[in-house]
Amino acid sequence: MTTTTATILDGNSIAAQIRAEVAEQVRLLSASGRRPGLAVIIAGDHPASEIYVRNKIRACQEVGIHSEKIAPPASVTTAELLATVAELNRRDDIDGILVQLPLPPQVDAQQVLLAVAPEKDVDGFHPVNMGNLITRRPTLVPCTPAGIMEILLRSHIPIASRRAVVVGRSLVVGKPMALLLLNHDATVTICHSKTRDLAEICRQADILVSAIGQPGLITDKFIKPGATVIDVGMNRVTDKQVFRQLFAGDAVREKAFQEKGFTLVGDVHPRVNEMAGALTPVPGGVGPLTIAMLMENTVKAHRLRLNANRGGMR
C-alpha cells in the first residue's frame, strides 16, 4: 500500500501575507488621515501574558499601527479598570482595545470585557459582535477562527456544501468557528466533551477543526481519508510516556525533547499526516494567524468607525 502524506498548510506564510496587506492598508490610512491605534491592557504578574502582549506590540510596530500598553498594578480594582476602559472608549486615536486575560482574581473580568465598546472590541468577544456574526452583519470576528478561515480560503479548500465538524464549543474558537463555516455554506456539527461517538462523527468531516486542548486526541481513526484537518491545540508535553505514544521513532523530536524536557503538540496525533488531505502543523499552523488577524481587526475597527454613518465597514 502506498503511503501518502498530507499537504501542510503553512500558517507562517499566510500570516506574512496578511501582515503585508495590513501594512499597506495602514500606510494608505495614515496618508489620508491618521493611522489605526490599538491599546492593550495587562494587569498582574503572568509571564506568558507578558510574552503575548510583547508579541502583539511588536506586530503593531511592524505593520505601522499605533500601540499603547497599559499596565496597572496587580492590586488594580474592577472600578479602576472600568475607568481605564471608559477613557479608551472615548479616545478617537484608539480604534481597538484588547484586555489581556487572565486579570487579577479580585477583578470582575466579565464586567471589564463587557465595558469595551463593541466597535473597539478587536477580540470579537462582545455579545454585540457575536450577534452580528450570527446575523451575518459586518463585524469584528474572534481572531483565531478568523485566521482559520483565511487558511481555508487562501489555500483554496472547498467549504460550500462540505461537511464540517468543530471539536470544542468555546466562545473563543469553537462557536464562532462553527458560525463562520456555516456562513460559508458548510454543513456544520459542533462536538464537545459530552458528545457520544466522537470518532464516528469526526470521520464524516470534509473539514475537521479541533480546539479541545487534549494532546493527540484526534487520531487517524477520527479522520475521513483526504479530509482537511485544522489543529488549534497547543499542548506542552513533558511526560516521557506520553511523548513516546505520540512520537515513537521520530529521532529529531526525541533529541529536542531530551534537550528541552518538553515538546509542543496539538490536539491531532502525528499519524493523522498519513490520512488527511491537508493539515495545519503545530507549531506554525493556526498560531501565527491569531496575531495577524488582531492587526487586521484593528484596521477593520478603524474603518468601521470611519464609516459608522454610512452603514458599516467597507
Q: Which residues are catalytic?
A: 56, 100, 123
Report the side by side order of strands in the sheet with 96-99. Answer: 66-70, 37-41, 96-99
Long-range interactions of 158-163: CB distance < 8 A, separation 24+: 158/206, 159/184, 159/185, 159/186, 159/207, 160/184, 160/185, 160/186, 161/185, 161/186, 161/187, 162/186, 162/187, 162/206, 162/207, 163/187, 163/189, 163/204, 163/205, 163/206, 163/207
For residue 59 the three cell numbers come to: 506586530
- Look at phi and psi of residue 10 and say left if phi exceeds 0, alpha if psi is from -120 to 50, else beta: beta
Q: Whole-angstrom distance between the N-terminal and C-terminal Cα of the chain? A: 52
CB-based contact 282:266 (threshold 8 Å): yes
208 phi/psi in degrees, rounded to 5: -120, 120
Q: In sequence order, what are the residues at sequence separation of 6 or more whose Cβ sits closer than 8 angstroms to the Cβ of residue 241?
A: none
Q: In sequence order, what are the residues at sequence separation of 6 or more whose Cβ sits closer than 8 angstroms to the Cβ of residue 28?
A: none
